[in-house]
Amino acid sequence: MPFLRRAAVLGIAVLLSGCGGSDRATVRTQDAEAGLRTARESVRDAERNGADQFAKDPLDVARTRLDRAESALTAGNTELSLRLAREADVTAELAEVSAQTTKAKAAATELRATIQLLREEIRRLQAE
């Protein structure tokens, strides 16, 4: 009897571990898909905020990583897909912030030039 009991316990353990492994694979696939959605959103946000013009290099890197993440998911490599999607997300955010910074610097430079012109005009008017 002890042999049958051990065999039954071992059989149940194998069945339960198989079910648990399947759930984890499903979660990983869902996580990778969620990561891809987030990365796609970040790339679109970067594009909308001028990264194509002001931060092209990091945006291109983000797009490449996103493409690789999608290919990895298609190939069934969910872990690689999730890692690449997270990298694409962060790189796209970097591109967006870089674009915003460049635009803000340009606006500040333009504002300084306008202030300088106004000062010169005030001096000219005061001299008359």
Q: What is the C-alpha separation between 3 and 59, in angstroms, rounded?
A: 62
Spans of all domains in the chain: 31-127
Instruction: Convert the pLDDT of each residue in 9-54 to its tens digit.
Output: 444 544 444 444 555 556 489 999 999 999 999 999 999 999 999 9
**Residue 59 C-alpha from the chain's centroid:** 10
DSSP letter assigned to residue 76: T
Model-wide pTM > 0.85:
no
pLDDT of residue 28: 85
